[in-house]
Amino acid sequence: MFREDLESHFQHKVDAEEKIEPKDWMPEEYRKTLIRQISQHAHSEIVGMLPEGNWITRAPSLKRKCILLAKIQDEAGHGLYLYSACETLGVEREQLLNDLHSGKAKYSSIFNYPAISWADMGAIGWLVDGAAIMNQIPLCRTSYGPYARAMVRICKEESFHQRQGYEIMLTLAKGTAIQKQMAQDALNRWWWPSIMMFGPNDSDSLHSAQSLKWKIKRFSNDELRQRFIDMTVPQAELIGLKIPDPDLKWNEERKSYDFGKINWDEFWNVVKGNGPCNKQRLHDRVEAHEKGAWVREAAVAYAEKRSARINSN
Amino acid sequence: MKNWPLFEIFIRSKSGLNHKHVGSLHAADAAMAIENARDVYTRRQEGISIWVVESKYISASDPADSDPFFEPAQDKIYRHPTFYDLPDEVKHM
């Protein structure tokens, strides 16, 4: 087939909501976009373990500690599903990790903010995982089969993450004045970074139009952000917390909330590596990888020994 | 990581059902792949049995040839029970 035929056949399949599978022909740019997006997503899961890992030993009860451990374990699993999906596009795991560790590949900027109090575990689950779910649910129908299937699995597991976070906030908000203040303070710090998670405004989003045409993305950044805000504001009200946005108000005509201006300078500054924790996160990730080298080597040595023993019998 | 082969993972979700492909992972050997598959794919009791097979041992049909490859079945509608017109009096067959 000629290249134009291949391209039109491909687009036809995408338009008909048929999934693209690893061995199917696909435009090079589609493959590249997916590798970038899926690996970025996988890196976000793995780096996302760091701010929470810091709180495992300081969780206020055994119950909370078990829950937090389970959540972080899920995130490791999500990272793995996504790395595997990404590898079906012909890129090696080692390459993906190298790109993360060298700073070439990005991960969600939200994890470059510090988690300084226990209430942050609540805010992260409620807002950060909430925003992630809003992004991820449409990705269950994304055009690339392995990515869509990984997302189905992830979304099933993710809903517990958001609920446990909201429950932490609820418990604090019902607690002493100081506990309620902790919850409000966490909301104040995580609100704006969370709504920035949906990415730049549609008018400034570099890859959006093509990704929508290829059905990699199903909704625009601004649509998803608006949905998240509309869903989250009543949840804050329900537990007596205040969204830190003086311009936030219900728009009866649009049946949606109007909200204040997002500080995109801050967003780009963090993306470019100058957020409060960029260096620390990357350092911790590289260190964890390097310190784990002996485990990987030992596993190979053990596997070789075991196979030698089986072969000699 | 480069030395760790890729394994395809199949899980039987409950007794009586077939093993179904769920994804893949890298492991040093098959025994480790089974343990890791348990930790990754059955954290919420999604399975009672796990198969792993090194990805390189899977041969697959070529999607580019799938039309001609599966064509022989297309015009054999007489293989389906609904192809046969029977009198209404025959209730269950």
Span A25-48, mean pLDDT? 96
pLDDT in tens, B72-92: 999 999 999 999 999 999 988
> In whole angstroms, what separates CA A55 from the centre of its chain?
19
B56 touches chain A (CB under 8 A): no
pLDDT interval class at A4 (50, 70, 90):
confident
B1 contacts on A by Cβ (under 8 Å) = 93-94, 97, 296
pLDDT in tens, A196-239: 999 999 888 777 788 999 999 989 999 999 999 999 999 999 99
> Letter for the amino acid at A76?
A
Span A178-205, mean pLDDT? 95
Residue closest to A239 by CA, chosen among A174, A308, A161: A174
Average per-residue pLDDT for chain A: 95
pLDDT reading at A313 higher than 80: no
Nearest Cα of chain B lies from the Cα of A297 at a distance, in angstroms, of 9
B24 Cβ contact list (under 8 Å, min separation 6) = A84, A87, B6, B7, B8, B9, B55
A169, A123 Cβ separation under 8 angstroms = yes
pLDDT reading at B49 higher than 60: yes
Lowest mean pLDDT among A43-52, A167-176, A301-310: A301-310
- pLDDT, residue B92, reads 86
pLDDT in tens, A87-146: 999 999 999 999 999 999 999 999 999 999 999 999 999 999 999 999 999 999 999 999
Nearest Cα of chain A lies from the Cα of B6 at a distance, in angstroms, of 9
- pLDDT, residue B3, reads 74
A69 touches chain B (CB under 8 A): no
What is the three-class DSSP state of B8? strand
Name the residue of chain B whose CA is nearest to A97's CA: B1
- pLDDT, residue A1, reads 64
A100 touches chain B (CB under 8 A): no
A89, A35 Cβ separation under 8 angstroms = yes
pLDDT interval class at B2 (50, 70, 90):
low
* ipTM (interface predicted TM): 0.85
Most A-contacting residue of B2, B7, B13, B40 (CB-CB within 10 A), to test interface: B40
Question: What is the residue whose two structure tokens read 């039109």?
Answer: A8
Query: How much is the pTM?
Result: 0.92
pLDDT reading at B1 higher than 60: no
Residue closest to B40 by CA, chosen among B2, B17, B7, B1: B7
Residue ranges of domains in chain B, CATH in brackets: 6-79 (3.10.20.520)
Q: How many CB atoms lie within 10 A of CB A3?
A: 9
- pLDDT, residue A121, reads 98
